[in-house]
């Protein structure tokens, strides 16, 4: 008949090294200050130069469309607004889709009149359909915009 091969069962080892390594890791962070921020109850400490939300000074906008042209994601579109502004003869202003905006700051850098700029407001939670801000909404603070 065939040959019988005797199979030895492996010795059962207690993973002491792994347990000690895990315990050392836990004890290392046990008495340190937690990294987690309990947002929104606790507001995060933002850097002084942090910028996120695009805002617009309607009176300074000249309707040059440079912000629309420089936007890499095409998040800015010019919109006709019936508003009296002697500096903006064409009566076109930017609206921004924050759903596709990467906050690259190109629009702020290219604006010749500094009408479009970034603020440190970051709480812009919206539904997918309400991420596009009209020129009037860009001129308001975030908490004034009611969607």
pLDDT of residue 147: 53
**CA atoms of 50 and 119, how far apart (whole Å):** 8
Total domains, the chain: 1
**29 falls within a domain:** no
pLDDT of residue 1: 63
pLDDT of residue 24: 92
Distances (CA, A) of 29 to 20, 24, 45: 15, 9, 22
**42 falls within a domain:** no
Q: Where are the beta strands (DSSP E) in the chain?
A: 53-56, 76-80, 92-97, 116-119, 132-133
The whole-model pTM stands at 0.69
Tell me, what CATH number does 100's domain have? 3.30.70.3270
Contact 125, 142 (CB under 8 A): no
Per-residue pLDDT of the chain (147 residues; tens, 9 = 90+): 678 888 888 777 777 888 899 999 999 888 888 878 788 888 888 888 888 889 999 999 999 999 999 999 999 999 999 888 888 989 999 999 998 999 999 999 999 999 999 998 888 777 878 889 999 999 988 878 765
**89 falls within a domain:** yes
**59 falls within a domain:** yes
**18 falls within a domain:** no
**Helix (H), strand (E) at residue 16:** helix 16-30
């Amino acid at each position: 008949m065939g040959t019988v091969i005797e199979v030895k069962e492996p010795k059962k080892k207690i993973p002491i090294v792994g347990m000690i390594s895990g315990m050392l890791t836990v004890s290392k962070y046990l008495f340190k200050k937690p990294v987690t921020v309990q947002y929104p109850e606790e507001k995060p400490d933002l850097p002084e130069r942090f910028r996120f939300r695009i805002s617009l000074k309607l009176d300074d906008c000249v309707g040059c469309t440079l912000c629309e042209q420089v936007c890499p994601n095409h998040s800015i579109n010019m919109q006709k607004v019936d508003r009296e502004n002697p500096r903006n003869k064409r009566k076109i202003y930017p609206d921004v889709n924050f759903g596709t905006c990467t906050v690259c700051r190109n629009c702020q850098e290219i604006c010749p009149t500094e009408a479009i700029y970034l603020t440190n407001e970051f709480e812009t939670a919206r539904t997918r359909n309400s991420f596009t801000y009209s020129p009037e909404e860009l001129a308001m603070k975030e908490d004034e915009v009611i969607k």
